[in-house]
Amino acid sequence: MVKENSPFLSDEFLEELAREINQQYGDNTNEQNAKPISNDDENISVNQQ
């Protein structure tokens, strides 16, 4: 017998939670417009000998 896994938290619950958080702390930010973080360490020199 195969048992289907259901999500622990429903989409409706998560959407309502997001609405409540946005009401308390302001609207959500659009992460796509955020400046990407660069992981380049151009100014760091390692093993200069």
pLDDT digit string (tens) for 22-42? Answer: 999 987 566 555 666 666 655
Among 10, 14, 8, 39, which Cα is nearest to 28's?
14
- Give phi and psi for 32, each to the nearest 5: -65, -25
pLDDT at 2 over 80: no
- The whole-number pLDDT of residue 6 equals 83
Distances in whole angstroms, Cα of residue 36 to Cα of each of 28, 30, 31, 32, 33: 18, 13, 9, 9, 9
- The whole-number pLDDT of residue 11 equals 94
Model confidence band, residue 14 (pLDDT cutoffs 50, 70, 90): very high
Model confidence band, residue 4 (pLDDT cutoffs 50, 70, 90): confident
How many whole angstroms from its chain centre is CA 24? 19
Distance CA 32, CA 1 (A): 43
